[in-house]
Amino acid sequence: MNREQRAALLAEEMMAFQALFEPYLEGLLPGEGLEQQTVADAMRYSLLAGGKRIRPFLLVSCHKLCGGEPGQVLPLAAALEMIHTYSLIHDDLPCMDNDDYRRGRPTSHKVFGEAMAVLAGDGLLTAAFETALQARVEPALLCKAVQELGRAAGLFGMLGGQSIDVESEKKRLSLDEAQMLRMYAMKTGALLTGACRIGFAAAGVSGERLEIVTEYARELGLTFQIVDDMLDKTGDFALLGKPIGSDEKNQKTTFATLYSLEQCEALARQHTEAAVGAAQRLPDSDVLVALAEYLLERKK
Amino acid sequence: MNREQRAALLAEEMMAFQALFEPYLEGLLPGEGLEQQTVADAMRYSLLAGGKRIRPFLLVSCHKLCGGEPGQVLPLAAALEMIHTYSLIHDDLPCMDNDDYRRGRPTSHKVFGEAMAVLAGDGLLTAAFETALQARVEPALLCKAVQELGRAAGLFGMLGGQSIDVESEKKRLSLDEAQMLRMYAMKTGALLTGACRIGFAAAGVSGERLEIVTEYARELGLTFQIVDDMLDKTGDFALLGKPIGSDEKNQKTTFATLYSLEQCEALARQHTEAAVGAAQRLPDSDVLVALAEYLLERKK
């Protein structure tokens, strides 16, 4: 399969995934008639704002590669997207990055107020675990998959990275390159790695194949982050849906502050190649290869 | 067994529980040497501030009543305490109740700043589910028990109640009695009900006995809340560890604003009797009976 064919396959798979995933996600949160409707609305507002759904797609693709059916793991995929969404809501709060736009719309606290935004994030994080446990996966495997979810989101994953990021910003300490790499590996890398590992765990696959897909995800995460940092400098607000230049405003150390744009591009290409190399050591991995190539080129 | 003997049994059981539980809790969070140490410290600070540990004790007692061993479910008990603690941290935030003291110490955001307090709460909520899944319980039962945990904490449990409470406060709308009862049933009732149901679920007990213990917990929750509202009016800061009169300051509808103290006492006694009545329909329930009697008399 050549690159063009892979891109076509990816587009097809993504469309098929979204046709399953969006209605499922839509049905997860109550639409009306509750006394606690405001927080439910705030949860829906952010969850259904139309993100790229990279993480849940990656999870389902990895599970499929192991012989699984997408329908079995939609709850795990939704859980991962809920966790990603909660982290964005809390990240945007005035006491954190204080951002006004996200996914092209006013941020949660701008619409619902700070207290409701805190609660909406809490609600999505809680709903993530409730939802995850509804996956149609054998209980012993489900327990492992949900533990991977917790690990990816927690102190040694996304949350740990977020706290290093926030603290360095509040104290106006610049991270050096090694610190930045470790921070990113947690803050953005962990959920991508988690997506792959949850998909594999739900299918009961461990050992060498699990290690290979973890390596793939790590390289994918680096590409993702480098492109993110470049887009924060050179991107288009209309495409990105969030303000450009917020890293500079917050005096963050990023790939784009450490390196020139040309160097960033070369680095992103290098990590994409490493991701592709890892994926090619797995069977039926055309979609994973294509996804790595796609994320290198993304403009949003 | 008479009331005095039950009180002695309860004191003994609580001491035995704490001797197991506190060291276990202490060992759950990393003590030093992380790059993300600040958020880990903030999580420890609130979790190890020495709460009453009513919820985890109730969980372990319910599991024991079904024939289980406390050691099996300590992770579930710790998870419940983590969720209770996260809710206090977020509840105390400036954008919520804006409280300066909790459990006799400055609140999390007073010590670590607002951003870290948000993250510490998020971290405890995430760690709760990670920890819960480590219980030594058969996977199918563990999945059910952790779902009960999610339900108790989520949109139709604690979080739902909290959001009704916050919203009525922000909009300066007084709840009527029926609304207040529904709000309390979620905000404080759900975690107590959850404690009992998780203990039963982990032991594989469902059906009529599960319904009875749910009724017990509901009545216990009402007593707990009535006493809480009375203590907010008449309690002792040194014993309570949090400011007196915060409900009045926040213009909340509580049992103590709807009723006189004498009426509150009568009501609390009535719900305690109902809880005791439910507990007595279960085998080996002396500890549950004693706990209901104890919570009626508590001064902190």
Which chain A residue's Cα is nearest to B83?
A126
**Interval A125-167: pLDDT, tens:** 999 999 999 999 999 999 999 999 999 999 999 999 999 999 9
**Interval A257-297: pLDDT, tens:** 999 999 999 999 999 999 999 999 999 999 999 999 999 99
Residue A243 scores a pLDDT above 80:
no
* Residue A173, pLDDT score: 83
**Interval B113-130: pLDDT, tens:** 999 999 999 999 999 999
Average pLDDT of the residues in A232-245: 79
In B, which residues are within 8 Å of A119 by CB distance? 90, 159, 162-163, 166
Q: In which band, very low, low, confident or very high, does the pLDDT at B252 lie, cut at 50, 70 and 90?
A: confident
Q: In which band, very low, low, confident or very high, does the pLDDT at A43 lie, cut at 50, 70 and 90?
A: very high
A241-250, A289-298, B102-111 — which is least confidently predicted? A241-250
Query: pTM to 2 decimals?
Result: 0.96
Q: How far apart are CA A160 and CA A237, in angstroms?
A: 28
Average pLDDT of the residues in A23-44: 94
Mean pLDDT of chain A: 95
Residue B240 scores a pLDDT above 80:
no
Percent of chain B with pLDDT over 70: 100
* Residue B37, pLDDT score: 96
Q: Is A126 on the interface with B (CB under 8 A)?
A: yes
Q: In which band, very low, low, confident or very high, does the pLDDT at A105 lie, cut at 50, 70 and 90?
A: very high
* Residue A246, pLDDT score: 77
Could you tell me if A192 and A219 are in contact, meaning their C-beta atoms sit under 8 angstroms apart? no
Could you tell me if B38 and B29 are in contact, meaning their C-beta atoms sit under 8 angstroms apart? no
* Residue A104, pLDDT score: 85
Q: Where are the beta strands (DSSP E) in A142-280?
A: none
Q: In which band, very low, low, confident or very high, does the pLDDT at A244 lie, cut at 50, 70 and 90?
A: confident
Q: Please tell me the distance in Å from B132's CA to the nearest CA on chain A.
A: 9
- Beta-carbon separation of B133 and A146 below 8 A: yes
Contact residues, B window 92-111, toward A, CB-based 8 Å cutoff: 93, 95-96
Average pLDDT of the residues in A200-210: 97
* Residue A75, pLDDT score: 98
Q: Which two tokens stand for residue B300?
A: 């902190």
**Interval A212-225: pLDDT, tens:** 999 999 999 999 99
Decide which of A173 and B35 is more confident. Answer: B35
Q: How far apart are CA B171 and CA B194, in angstroms?
A: 30
Which chain A residue's Cα is nearest to B140?
A139
ipTM: 0.96
Residue B108 scores a pLDDT above 90:
yes
- Beta-carbon separation of B147 and A130 below 8 A: yes
Q: Which two tokens stand for residue A281?
A: 């050591």
Neighbours of B105 (CB within 10 A): 16
Q: How far apart are CA B17 and CA B4, in angstroms?
A: 20
Q: Which residues contact A177 (CB under 8 A, 6 or more apart)?
A: A253, A258
* Among the partner residues A30, A38, A159, nearest to B163 by beta-carbon distance: A38
Q: Is B45 exposed, middle or buried (0-12, 13-18, 19+ CB in 10 A)?
A: buried
In which residue are the tokens 């039962």 written? B141
Average pLDDT of the residues in B80-86: 98
Q: How far apart are CA B189 and CA B164, in angstroms?
A: 14
* Residue A166, pLDDT score: 93
Q: In which band, very low, low, confident or very high, does the pLDDT at A170 lie, cut at 50, 70 and 90?
A: confident
* Residue A251, pLDDT score: 80
* Residue A198, pLDDT score: 98
Average pLDDT of the residues in B16-31: 94
Q: How far apart are CA B63 and CA B5, in angstroms?
A: 22
